[in-house]
Structure 1
């Protein structure tokens, strides 16, 4: 239970872009970007706290060359339509063109009961329909439709990435045209870089929420929020309302800086849990890309009287 954790301390150190999935087998499955960005690492445990010391297994390692041979970022593990899938971003090289990396989204899969011991199949690229930088895909099922939500550079729009959504025909292929939900536009979304990325889906009551991260990955990094009614057409941008202010941001007093790239899971009692990464200092030496000290934190999500999530401050229970 989270009551046994010091929320001001990382659950898992040096794991950025954390994703925790609680499966029907009772295990929590964890994956994240590893400091070397060289593959897909999984771990599992019967409790959230147990993930901290759980055995890690590298289930897929990047090839030495080719279009997905570098900078393996932000994997997410999902159980879709009877099989395990890990969605991740990868680049052909560290060469930057047009001020952006050249990442695209890819997937691996296994039908093994335990994905840590299963044989994984490389499924290839998950084509967004837009031949440009993209990353941070997540999936969710609603009313028997599998949806894909991700961060996408659209060449005609200023900024690094926007949040798009599309239905899926299969767990690795889209079934329709992408729909744009949000672009960086507010001051807090364009500090350092114009970024909307890292979407995560949370259902509660009669609403669906999508959180996302904005601005540069330093102390300015923070979380925004989209919301829609659960019966609305999720592929209609007009169904979604965007919060004008960040919902989760740096907590100077506890030295938890740039919280974001979150996911959601549930504790043993069914309460919603926010999973996020943050740094404990602002002075980064050298390229921030290679600073390994973005750590995984967790905290409970509270709910207000209107059914909206209250994330409070990083490192605090309230």
Structure 2
């Protein structure tokens, strides 16, 4: 499955961790960073822990869960994220079925203790929508993330709608618990612009960044090759997170392929803080070459990369790839 023949490393694109797509890094109150991501075989959920970001590269990687042999959660184990909410550890991920591989739905694991590396993880089944929600998780649904605002937790995910060549939108809802939503879905963004519609019409992979009273949500757009790129939404933290008018989408992508630097198809990122808490860091995946042989999903070389988020005078994040 290796496909490194076209790889060219520059000072800008040396991976933090190779062959780990959809990277998620969470800094906990215990001082540790926790890392999980999609693996090329899409067959398990892995976890690493280290006291520094750099330490994650060589940290022991353990498998905390393996896919089922059939039925739900038996194919396409994608984009896990680890969160500590409601006093417990949760991992949110998407999975399909061996006999219906594109029946992708969101699932939940709950840790049965306070040490996610050593305590048991229990399957909690599909993420549950609100009792009066007839729409959520009825179609291809993936890439869930969670964030807190004003003491409440919110869940953002991608779900396809329409017929034929379906469209992937982002939706948001409030959470009742670590395994259930309390409100019906609200449309956050749909692929409106040309850069969101290359190969496929896609908004997916949300990541949340907070700064000076604003909530920023990055998302990934278009197909998973070199056209993959990152867009940005923002809202005031005092506004109603479930009101679509609270959110504004920037007209152009904020991070895209940079041939000169050897970064192709950057996207599906998470955010964390530096060890001293002073810097915002973006952990994203990208390839180091443009040409992909066969299905991009089967190319294993989406590597976990890192960049420091800079801030403009007007308080907006700047995603500049630096060497």
TM-score w.r.t. structure 1 length?
0.93
Deviation at 1:113, TM superposition (A): 2.5
Deviations 1:270-298 (A, max 9, x none): 11100000001111112221110000000
Give the aligned partner of residue 70 of structure 2: 65
Distance 1:145 1:126 in 2: 18
Instruction: State yes or no: 1:160 paired with 2:167.
Output: yes
Q: Which residue of 2 aligns with 1:93?
A: 98
2: CA distance, partners of 1:109 / 1:95: 25
Q: Is the 8 A contact 1:14 1:294 kept in 2?
A: yes
Q: C-alpha separation between the residues in 2 aligned to 1:29 and 1:214?
A: 26
Structure 2: how far apart are the matches of 1:279 and 1:130?
Answer: 30
Secondary structure in structure 2 of the residue aligned to 1:51: helix
Aligned twin of 1:134 = 141
User: Matched residue of 2:245: which SS?
Assistant: helix
| 1:143 match | 150
Query: What is the rounded CA distance, in whole Å, between the counterparts of 1:94 and 1:23 in structure 2?
Result: 38
Please name the residue that 2:298 is paired with: 290
Alpha-carbon displacement from aligned partner over 1:18-39 (angstroms, at most 9, x marks no partner): 0000000010000000111111
Deviations 1:57-109 (A, max 9, x none): 1001111000211110000000011111000000013746xxxx220000101
- Write the distance in 2 (CA, Å) between the matches of 1:157 and 1:306: 42
Do 2:32 and 2:49's aligned partners in 1 also have CA atoms closer than 8 Å? yes
Aligned residue for 1:102, secondary structure, equals: strand
Q: Measure how far apart 1:44 and its partner are.
A: 0.5
- Whole-Å separation in 1 of the counterparts to 2:255 and 2:159: 22
Deviation at 1:111, TM superposition (A): 3.7
CA shift, 1:159, in A, is 3.8
State the partner residue of 1:209: 216
| 8 Å Cα contact 2:13-2:262 kept in structure 1 | no
Question: Which residue in the other structure is 1:275 paired with?
Answer: 283
The separation in 1 between residues aligned to 2:201 and 2:286, in whole angstroms, is: 19
Match of 1:161, SS state, is strand
Given that 2:20 and 2:40 are in contact with CA atoms closer than 8 Å, whether structure 1 keeps it comes out as yes
Matched, 1:187 2:194: yes
Partner of 2:103: 102
Please tell me whether the aligned partners of residues 189 and 215 of structure 1 are also in contact (alpha carbons under 8 angstroms). Answer: yes
Q: Provide the TM-score with structure 2 as the length reference.
A: 0.92
Secondary structure of the corresponding residue to residue 103 of structure 2: coil
Which of residues 178, 194, 203 is equivalent to 1:196? 203
1:7–1:297 Cα contact (<8 Å) kept: no
User: 2: CA distance between counterparts of 1:181 and 1:43?
Assistant: 31
Residue 4 of structure 2 corresponds to: none
Give the secondary-structure state (helix, strand or coil) at the position aligned to 1:238.
Answer: helix
Q: Does the CA contact (< 8 Å) of 1:284 and 1:291 recur in 2?
A: yes
Give unmatched runs, 5+ long, in structure 1. Answer: 1-5
Equivalent residue, structure 2, for 1:24: 29
**Following the alignment from structure 2 to structure 1, what is the Cα–Cα distance between the partners of residues 176 and 140?**
22
